[in-house]
Amino acid sequence: MDEARLAFDSMYSAIAGSRVYRQITHRAFPDLPEWLIPYSVSPSLVLLERIAQSLNIGPASSFMDLACGMGGPGLWICERTGASLVGVDFSAAAISAATTLARHRGIARATFVSADATDTGLPEKSFDGLMSIDAIQFMDARSVATEIARVLRPGGIAALTTMEALVDDLPVATVAKDYRAVFKTTGFSICDYEQLADSAEKDNALFESIDLYRDALVKEIGEAASPMLEEADERLKRAKAPPRARKIFLVAQLQ
Ligand SMILES: C[S@@+](CC[C@H](N)C(=O)[O-])C[C@H]1O[C@@H](n2cnc3c(N)ncnc32)[C@H](O)[C@@H]1O
């Protein structure tokens, strides 16, 4: 756990102010606003709009962005819906970048907290909605679903993207095979579930963009680029092989 946190934290320390990482994401996600820098493969305006609609929140509501990274996706939903946001991530560098971004965008109803997503320490029954993009696959599935059930109010909605394993030997051992079953057993009913058909293509767009900018990235952030470049190499190498995981969009309502 600490190893994973340190790995994410050092990556965020390197990319938070990186001009080249910004160029990489602009090329991979051309529809996103220029200020929104994801550290994930799924974001698009269509996905963000779908999350906003699914959460069904407005100015009187509060929602959480669980494992929020540098804050962009949650802040987009915050601006779109008028709801108050608490972003949570275990990387202090990500939380610092998200806090700075909220300040630059003049959003006072967004705060960001450094905490483990499976044990946030936030009050129970305090959120109307919860979003999470490309993150819960890194956590014990049952623990994170239990924490989501704890912080949501009854009737609250979780809308998220994650991976589901199709094989037993993925490098990330926490990827569950069936998140619907996990959420059902922690008190949710499933409102929407879809395999994101375009995800392989979209993942490749990001990894191709990383590959294209590899020299510039190394020049700018040095050794810190290595994990990202290694992952891009691995993912591009596997691009034509049979899929080992699928990307899903899940909406679940707490009973
Ligand atoms: C692929 S990134 C996605 C970040 C963000 N949702 C986005 O779309 O840009 C996965 C995120 O999960 C966070 N994370 C992983 N395990 C976590 C945990 N146990 N508690 C809190 N955050 C965690 C990482 O720090 C990272 O920010």
Q: Residue 187 is encoded by which pair of tokens?
A: 């008190």
Q: Residue whose CA is closest, atom 27 of ligand 1?
A: 69
Q: Read off the tokens for 116.
A: 């483990």
Q: What is the pLDDT of residue 1?
A: 62
pLDDT at residue 197 above 70?
yes
**Span 18-47, average pLDDT:** 96
Measured CA angle at 153 (ends 118, 85), to 5 deg: 70
Q: What is the mean pLDDT of the chain?
A: 96
What's the 191 CA to ligand 1 centre distance in angstroms? 24
Prediction pTM value: 0.97
Task: Give me ligand 1 centre to Cα 52, in Å.
Answer: 19
Q: What is the average pLDDT across 199-204? A: 78
What's the CA gap between 54 and 64, in Å, rounded? 14
* Best residue for ligand 1 mutational test, from 41, 91, 210, 231 (most atoms within 8 Å of Cβ): 91
- Once rounded to an integer, what is the mean pLDDT over residues 188-203? 88
Higher pLDDT, 203 or 67: 67
Contact yes or no for 99/128 (Cβ under 8 A): no
Complete domains list, the chain, with CATH? 2-115+123-254 (3.40.50.150)
User: What pLDDT was estimated at residue 32?
Assistant: 97
pLDDT on residue 202: 75
pLDDT classification of 79: cutoffs 50, 70, 90: very high
Q: Do 106 and 78 contact (CB within 8 A), yes or no?
A: no
How much is the average pLDDT of 134-145?
A: 98
Note the pLDDT of residue 34.
96
pLDDT digits (tens, 9 = 90+) for 41-70: 989 999 999 999 999 999 999 999 999 999
Q: Distance between CA atoms of 245 and 168, rounded to whole angstroms? A: 10
pLDDT at 233 over 90: yes
C-alpha 68 – ligand 1 centre gap (Å)? 6
**Does pLDDT of 255 surpass 80?**
yes
Sheet hosting strand 188-195, strand order edge to edge = 110-114, 84-89, 62-66, 127-133, 152-165, 245-254, 188-195
